Chain A
Amino acid sequence: MEWFVQLVAGLLVLAIALATIRLARGPGLPNRVVALDVIAVLGAALAALFAIQFELRVFLDVAIILALVSFVGTVAFAYHVEKGAQ
């Protein structure tokens, strides 16, 4: 059980690393916004995984906040992309 949770955490970190490659390569702002959105939501999943691993239910609040903040950030970036085009 312990090792399986660690394996899942490794896979999630690998997924975040792949999304970070897209964040670095772009091209352009919309691609980077998509990569950031994915990274934030995967961070929420990682927080829930930490809650399981270390028996700390406070980390579920971290997951809620991450999901909230990523949505607000994505909406702000979408507004910026749309305004920057005009």
Chain B
Amino acid sequence: MLPLHEILIVLLLGIGSLFSLLAAVGILRMPDVYTRMLAASKAVTLGTTAIVCAAAVHFREADVVARCLLVCGFLFVTIPAASHLIARAAHRAGEPLAPETVIDELGQSADDGSGPEGRRTPADLNAADGP
């Protein structure tokens, strides 16, 4: 029987490796850049956080735990910001959407004139929304 902290390490490492692998499969199999980014950013955040937490449980010292918390906090702040930036830049660059796409809210919004459908006036939007 393993001691409790080793069980916790094994659990965290298993979660981390599986989610990292899922992220990689996601960016390989998804149909367009936006869904690839969706698959990659969430799963990679969780996987890397789990592995770094496993390192914190393994060492169990104040300076190591502080560094692990720093890595976790940093990942949780930067990965959503970075994926948002790439998605917006790709949409402005005219990156095509997958044929299964149901709605393109960024292309329809009035204050973003650089979408593939061009600028729409507020009157267009009111007409589209109905009474």
Contacts and interface: CB of A to CB of B under 8 A. Distances in A.
Interface of A: 1, 4-5, 7-8, 11-12, 14-19, 21-22, 28-31, 33-35, 37-38, 41-42, 44-45, 48-49, 51-52, 57, 60-61, 63-64, 67-68, 70-71, 74-75, 77-79, 81-82, 84-85
Given A38-B44, A42-B23, A75-B82, 15 more contacts: A11-B18, A12-B21, A15-B21, A21-B28, A30-B90, A34-B33, A41-B44, A41-B45, A48-B51, A64-B70, A67-B75, A70-B78, A81-B86, A82-B89, A82-B92
Contacts of B59: 51, 57
Nearest to A42: B20
Contacts of A7: 17
A70 B95 CA distance: 22
Nearest to B45: A41
B17 A12 contact: yes
Nearest to B64: A57
Interface string B11-31: 001101110110111011000
Q: B interface, how many residues as a size bin?
A: 35 or more
Interface in B1-15: 2, 6, 9-10, 13-14
A64 B74 contact: yes
Contacts of B75: 41, 44, 67
A27 B101 CA distance: 19
B125 interface: no
A48 B54 CA distance: 9
B71 A38 contact: no
Contacts of B110: none
30 contacts: A12-B17, A15-B17, A15-B20, A19-B24, A22-B36, A30-B93, A30-B95, A34-B27, A34-B83, A34-B86, A38-B24, A38-B27, A41-B45, A42-B23, A42-B24, A45-B47, A48-B48, A48-B51, A49-B13, A49-B55, A51-B55, A64-B74, A67-B78, A70-B78, A71-B78, A74-B85, A78-B88, A78-B89, A82-B89, A82-B93
